[in-house]
Amino acid sequence: MAKSGTDSDVLFDSISNVVGVIYQCALDPGRWRDALEGIAKLTCSHRCSIGDCDDANKRSQHPFIWRRDTEEFSPLDQAASRAQDPCLARLQFLPLGAVATRGMLIDDHEFEESAFYQESLKPQRLGDAIFLKVHQTGLTVTGYRLGSQRRYEANAVRLLSLLAPHICRTIAISEVLNYQAVRLASLEATLNTLTSRVYLADRQGCIVFMNQAAEDEVSAGKILRIDNGRLAPIDRVARSEMSKAITRAVSDEAAASTSQISLGMLDGKTGSVFATIMALNRGEPSNVAGSLAADVVIFVQDSILVSPLAGEAFAKIYQLTSSELRVLLAMSPGLGVKEAAALLGISETTAKTHVQHIYAKTFTSKQTELMHLFTSFGCQSCSHNLSRLARQ
């Protein structure tokens, strides 16, 4: 075992520090400057960059580079010529996470005759290079040494190989975060187009998102308001019921029984509304609502549109499963199948399957017909719907 203060300890600490910075790049891309600097120092590189190449357009798509001579972090000024590096094309035949020096990819004479070397590296006095294949799209970490420096040795390959899985994992995390952000922005934009009020809350009832209609409703303060971050009806009895309903919706018992809870509320002046409270995060773990740390969705509508028990009664009459009812309720404010699937945390394919089953059971063939039937159901008596169904 190496003693404290030995070269081995210093190297271990250096690697650990660089790994820590690499993972920070997933949340803060600006930290790549520090990460590249750390990689450059470990591999004794004069310059270190991370970038990908668009072979069709012969351009580098990633702008990050660290240079030891000026210690600057700037756009890669030789983006077009870098895309002509013959080593990069050969690197793509290696597995993800592979590390290779230039000598492992191409013969010296062939490389020195290339336009890339003659027009780019030679004028900059750069010599050997080391590569890490980060992503199948061509994303690569590249280290350069000056022509006056010795070539990359086995130790440099070993050190970059130790960092390889962490760099690859960081890029994968970044992709997921970016994808979720795009999906989340798309869902928020969709919810903001709805006239129905939509609230997303956590297990304690704290609001994490409101669409524009919901914000307008809370601002009016006639029926609902935000109290200590929680959605709170003006009426004290309804406030207590709302809290109980949210607790019930996210309970383990609710997962095996009902899929939604309805709650009526009065303001004493303009009439009444009702809230449909439904648990989220019971589907695939990569749902969009999960990006907002939401556990419950609350739809608030005027009681004249749909009665408080419409969902439960509709499901009983048409023999919908709890999963089918959840999809129907998510779509009822005006969401499409794709947006409803994202909200509930299920795949679009699963949601479409549920919708097809609902169409078959309700004798409808498209969403407008289904929503018209569901809305009409809430304004009529259950006995009228029973007799209607019996005649079919």
Classify residue 158: in a domain, yes or no: yes
Least confident segment among 68-82, 106-120, 256-270? 68-82
Q: Calculate the dihedral angle through the C-alpha atoms of 279, 283, 289, 290, rounding to the nearest 10 degrees.
A: 110
pLDDT at 97: 93
- Identify the pLDDT of residue 75: 39
Residue with tokens 């719907």: 385
Among 48-52, 67-71, 163-167, 346-350, the minimum mean pLDDT is found in 67-71
User: Which of residues 178, 213, 240 is at a domain's end?
Assistant: 178
Q: Is the pLDDT reported for residue 56 higher than 90?
A: no
User: Residue 35 above 90 pLDDT?
Assistant: yes
**Which position has the higher pLDDT, 129 or 14?**
129
Residues 146 and 64 occupy one common structural domain? yes
Q: What is the pLDDT of residues 337-368, one digit of tens each?
A: 988 888 887 888 999 999 999 999 999 999 98
**Average pLDDT over every residue of 161-182:** 84
Same domain? 173 vs 279: no
Q: Note the pLDDT of residue 290.
A: 56
| Token pair listed for 148 | 């006056």
**CATH code assigned at 202:** 3.30.450.20
pTM of the model: 0.54
Give the pLDDT mean for 102-118.
90
Kindly indicate the confidence band of residue 132, based on its pLDDT and cuts at 50, 70 and 90.
Answer: very high
Overall number of domains in the chain: 2
Paired tokens of 267: 């303001």
| Contact (CB, 8 A) for 65 and 74 | yes
Mean pLDDT over residues 79-95, rounded? 75
Question: What does the alpha-carbon distance between residue 217 and residue 215 come to, in Å, rounded to a whole number?
Answer: 5
- Dihedral pair phi/psi, residue 384, rounded to 5°: -65, -40
d(CA 336, CA 286): 19
Place of tokens 């159901």: 377
pLDDT at 285: 43
Look at residue 389 in the predicted model and tell me its pLDDT.
37
Looking at the fold, whether 101 and 212 belong to one and the same domain comes out as no
Within-domain flag for 93: yes
Residue 36 domain flag: yes
How many separate helices (H) and strands (E) can be counted in the chain?
Answer: 18, 15
Q: With both helix axes pointing from N to C terminus, report the angle between 348-362 and 310-318 in degrees, rounded to the nearest 10.
A: 70
pLDDT at 377 over 70: no
164 in the same domain as 212: no
Residue 346: DSSP 8-state:
-
63 in any annotated domain = yes
- What's the pLDDT score for residue 387? 39
Domain holding 33, by residue range, is 7-178
**Residue where a domain terminates, one of 157, 178, 199:** 178
pLDDT(32) > 60: yes
Average pLDDT over residues 233-259: 75
Residue 113 lies in a domain: yes
For residues 287 and 350, membership in a common domain is answered with yes
Reported confidence tier of residue 267, pLDDT bands at 50, 70, 90: low
pLDDT at 284 over 70: no
Domain shared by 197 and 174, yes or no = no
Is residue 302's pLDDT more than 60?
Answer: yes
Percentage above 70 pLDDT, the chain: 75
Whether residues 166 and 311 share a domain: the answer is no
Which of the listed residues 178, 206, 224 is the one where a domain comes to its end? Answer: 178
126 lies in a domain?
yes
Decide if pLDDT at 29 tops 80.
yes
Q: Is 324 exposed, middle or buried, given 0-12, 13-18 or 19+ CB atoms closer than 10 A?
A: buried
* Cα 377 from Cα 211, distance rounded (Å): 26
Q: Whose structure tokens read 């240079």?
A: 67
pLDDT at residue 7 is higher than 70:
no
Question: CA-CA distance, 234 to 47, in Å (whole number)?
Answer: 63
Residue carrying the six token digits 């050997």: 128
Q: Report the residue count for the chain.
A: 392
Mark whether 39 and 109 lie in a shared domain: yes
pLDDT of residue 282: 53
pLDDT at 40: 93
Can you tell me the distance from the alpha carbon of 241 to that of 235, in angstroms, rounded to the nearest whole number?
Answer: 10
Tokens of 184: 């989340």
**Residue 72 · residue 95 · CB < 8 Å:** no
Q: Are residues 152 and 294 both part of a single domain?
A: no
Least trusted range by pLDDT, from 67-81, 157-171, 268-282, 361-375: 67-81
274/299 Cα distance (integer angstroms): 8
Helix (H, G, I), strand (E, B) or coil at 161: helix
pLDDT at 214 over 60: yes
List C-alpha distances in Å: 202 to 74, 76, 148: 42, 44, 60
Residue with tokens 């006056």: 148
The rounded mean pLDDT for the chain is: 78
Whole-number pLDDT of residue 278: 85
Alpha helices in 306-347 (DSSP H): 310-318, 322-331, 337-344
Beta bridge pairs of residue 50:
64, 141
What is the per-residue pLDDT for 99?
96
pLDDT of 254 > 80? The answer is no
Highest mean pLDDT among 29-38, 98-107, 197-206, 253-262: 98-107
CB atoms within 10 A of CB 291: 17
Looking at the structure, tell me whether residues 121 and 205 fall in a common domain: no
CB-facing half-sphere around the CA of 134: CA atoms within 13 A: 25
Same domain, yes or no, for 137 and 222?
A: no
Q: What is the pLDDT of residue 161?
A: 95
Indicate if 166 and 285 belong to the same structural domain.
Answer: no
CA dihedral sign of residues 145, 151, 155, 158 = positive
> Which residue would you say has higher pLDDT here, 314 or 206?
206
Residue 185 domain-assigned (yes or no): no
Instruction: Average the pLDDT over each of 53-57, 168-172, 238-242, 263-267 and give the range with the smallest value.
Output: 53-57
Question: Residue 130's beta-bridge partner residues?
Answer: 101, 143
Confidence of residue 382 (pLDDT cuts 50, 70, 90): very low
CATH of the domain at 106: 3.30.450.40
- Whether 267 maps to a domain, the answer reads yes
